[in-house]
Structure 1
């Protein structure tokens, strides 16, 4: 192993150590607050104080994790059931994500069952949308969990903002599921609302937990602001026109003129490209790309309904301008189509 590799390994171990310390510090801080609150009530109810002092370490740790949440009772009850004897804050946060995912999956199964029983077309459409949205909601939770439990301290602030965005998306997908039952004539909407109550509360609680982590970031500024010489480039998302996730190569691609970009697939209505319709090109777009994949749609009016799979990561779609490359459709709710499925281009 080279000196450089050894140095990187040591740095990563240090980062993991400090990252874990950050999680522990947050829990300890909240635990101290809970302890002080209990002590302040000692003279009011001595028997209550004795009962509190006998609380197990796991229960105390769960209460600490759930302290910054909006639905604390839901958080504590569900986390205590799943925690076993765990007191490690990092593991408890993982469990909190897994519990939320479990409840979303249960709601998804319920939507499938209700769809099979329903004879109302609008209700069936709403339930079908719910299944898709629940899958996407779980995907956002998993993405968030992966980042929360394995992050580079130097990117902590940006990462936490990303995680909060993903968690917000997870909640929005669940809300969108319920929106689909407007103007339906069955009780399926009420049943789904009951089925999603706990999962939505748990998802909102995860947002509270992550926000609690974010509040600890200022105390870690001494670590996060240590930069290498190459970090003197403008900080992504601070004052430039590119999204925070765009690396240098992606920014160059986004800034380039269309004539300078080499497309991976070309769609041309006149037959001069690889395909004459966008739908024909979709099966040829790889999934889980680690680098930009360019789909170039040449001038023309395309009467199509396009749905890009969410696993088509790093897909870049370009055209010849808003007046030249146009994709049109006329789906509408009044035609019996669920609003979620009306976009001409969707994901």
Structure 2
């Protein structure tokens, strides 16, 4: 479920349970915080005005008023930058605290693994924070917001991981620190939104609003990227080839080809042609491998397959993917990625994607529970075939799925007894995060095997469009064909009334028996027609700036 990497086995057993979920809370006070000085370098009134834009104005004022980066007449953008700097400084402290946990946990496997993965994702948070700080003064505020949203996501992931290995005072103190750090990062992101909307008009700054409070960001006209021709111009030559042929001189594994790609390639794509065949391997694309392209010989012909699942040798959901991608600008086309752990296994991811500006086109993504971990940043899926059952599209990314077929599979050993499945579980934790799932022109149905079970006793087989993994979960379906297996309520609670007043689940102009609105839950919405454009490629993921077109 979305930008939240609950890293340990216990955490993911809780996260994916159909009967339990907990919201997190923040302390919003840093350890050993200094008293507010009598004379501040920046006007306290200006700081208070800016901090109106946050969810936690008291902690915002308390930290910014001590900042040495602000002058008496600080400009609004400088206040945002100072808040980002405070977050970055405290992140470094948090990294040191987690490193200490890792280094002193050699006898505790769960804690050691949680801390190790924590350090990886905190490195990603540091990278995104730094990148956002770099582009904000250059006017690239949508990029800055996307990257700060991811930075916040990763910090929450670390907090969540520590929560489930909290067996010592050191871990407890580190959690308390991250609790506060998350608040600082949230404050910076919230102010960034107000700066985006109102620029220097501090009197108009306000806390982040969502659709539930009547706010849509739909300023760019147009509903799609016209002339889309795919992630890569036709005829682009391969830089390297992966094949099964003996003695052909090509790479024998996909990972070997990834390792051979140059680091931080920014000027053009590095194309890896993966010839027909079944590649049984776990593939990782690290952060420095940017602009990689996987091109196969077709769905079902080029197959990358793995079978890792939670519970096997301490493997966690974050580490189960057959293919896991961090490097920005990733593209994949004409291939299958699958996790064959089976319907009786626990969480088992086929694709985990943390690549900003990534395109998955004409690909088959197969699994059961948690097939697609659309974890963070901006993602575009076009013409894909996705199969799974429990929460099988989850994460905290801003992802658009277009023209795709999404099918539910049977998941129980004795499926005739009935089951509940949710297609999506989005995990936005903060209303300032520019994340959510958008489905346009997609088909939601079941596999032939599932539909035979469904029609044998439809009363015991319940399927839903989504359920709220986290408090500000956001998912919309527009112009989709929702088949009869979608239950009349449409959406499934996570645990009691958790998130039901803060999530946004929207539908617009869908068709099919499952699109009947008569029995819908009262906490879902019909998207007002005048605001449908908020979920276009241009508005939601700035697709007009990076998705190739024919013109």
Contact 1:253 1:261 in 2 (8 A): no
Structure 2 residue aligned with 1:212? 194
3-state secondary structure, aligned to 2:308: coil
Contact 1:293 1:315 in 2 (8 A): yes
Bigger mean CA deviation after superposition, 131-140 or 275-284: 275-284
3-state secondary structure, aligned to 1:83: coil
> What is the alpha-carbon distance in structure 2 between the residues aligned to residue 81 and residue 111 of structure 1?
26
**Map 1:5-16 → 2, pairs under 5 A:** none
* 1:94-133 Cα deviation digits (max 9, x unpaired): 2221110111111111111011112210111011011011
Segments of 5+ residues of structure 2 without an aligned counterpart are 1-38, 202-218, 327-551
Match status 1:274 vs 2:261: no
Q: TM-score, normalised by structure 1?
A: 0.68
Contact 2:163 2:175 in 1 (8 A): no
3-state secondary structure, aligned to 1:269: coil
**Map 1:227-306 → 2, pairs under 5 A:** 238-241=222-225, 254=231, 256-257=233-234, 260-271=235-246, 272=248, 274-290=250-266, 291-306=268-283
Structure 1 residue aligned with 2:316? 338
Contact 1:306 1:344 in 2 (8 A): yes
Structure 2 residue aligned with 1:180? 161
Match of 2:45 among 60, 63, 66: 60
Contact 2:41 2:65 in 1 (8 A): no
Residues 284, 236 of structure 1: alpha-carbon distance in 2 compared, 3 angstrom cutoff: farther
Match status 1:130 vs 2:114: no
Match of 2:64 among 68, 79, 83: 79
> What is the alpha-carbon distance in structure 1 between the residues aligned to residue 66 and residue 160 of structure 2?
31
Aligned residue pair count: 263
Greater helix fraction, Structure 1 or Structure 2: 1
Structure 2 residue aligned with 1:168? 149
Segments of 5+ residues of structure 1 without an aligned counterpart are 1-53, 152-158, 220-234, 243-247
3-state secondary structure, aligned to 1:302: strand
3-state secondary structure, aligned to 2:252: coil
3-state secondary structure, aligned to 1:198: helix
3-state secondary structure, aligned to 1:110: helix
Residues 273, 59 of structure 1: alpha-carbon distance in 2 compared, 3 angstrom cutoff: farther
Residues 63, 342 of structure 1: alpha-carbon distance in 2 compared, 3 angstrom cutoff: same
* 1:104-163 Cα deviation digits (max 9, x unpaired): 111111111011112210111011011011110111111111121112xxxxxxx43332
Structure 1 residue aligned with 2:288? 311
> What is the alpha-carbon distance in structure 1 between the residues aligned to residue 167 and residue 282 of structure 2?
29
Greater strand fraction, Structure 1 or Structure 2: 2
Residues 211, 85 of structure 1: alpha-carbon distance in 2 compared, 3 angstrom cutoff: closer
> What is the alpha-carbon distance in structure 2 between the residues aligned to residue 276 and residue 236 of structure 1?
46
* 1:326-346 Cα deviation digits (max 9, x unpaired): 111222221212322221111
Deviation at 1:190, TM superposition (A): 3.3
Match of 2:93 among 86, 94, 106: 106
CA RMSD of aligned residues (A): 2.9
3-state secondary structure, aligned to 1:321: coil
Divergent runs of 4+, >4 A: 54-57, 235-238
Computing the radius of gyration from Cα coordinates, the structure with the larger value is 1
* 1:219-252 Cα deviation digits (max 9, x unpaired): 9xxxxxxxxxxxxxxx99943358xxxxx9xx66
Residues 56, 289 of structure 1: alpha-carbon distance in 2 compared, 3 angstrom cutoff: closer
* 1:4-54 Cα deviation digits (max 9, x unpaired): xxxxxxxxxxxxxxxxxxxxxxxxxxxxxxxxxxxxxxxxxxxxxxxxxx9
Deviation at 1:209, TM superposition (A): 0.8
Structure 2 residue aligned with 1:23? none
Deviation at 1:189, TM superposition (A): 5.2
Bigger mean CA deviation after superposition, 312-321 or 301-310: 312-321
Deviation at 1:184, TM superposition (A): 3.7
Q: TM-score, normalised by structure 2?
A: 0.44
> What is the alpha-carbon distance in structure 1 between the residues aligned to residue 154 and residue 133 of structure 2?
17
Structure 2 residue aligned with 1:231? none
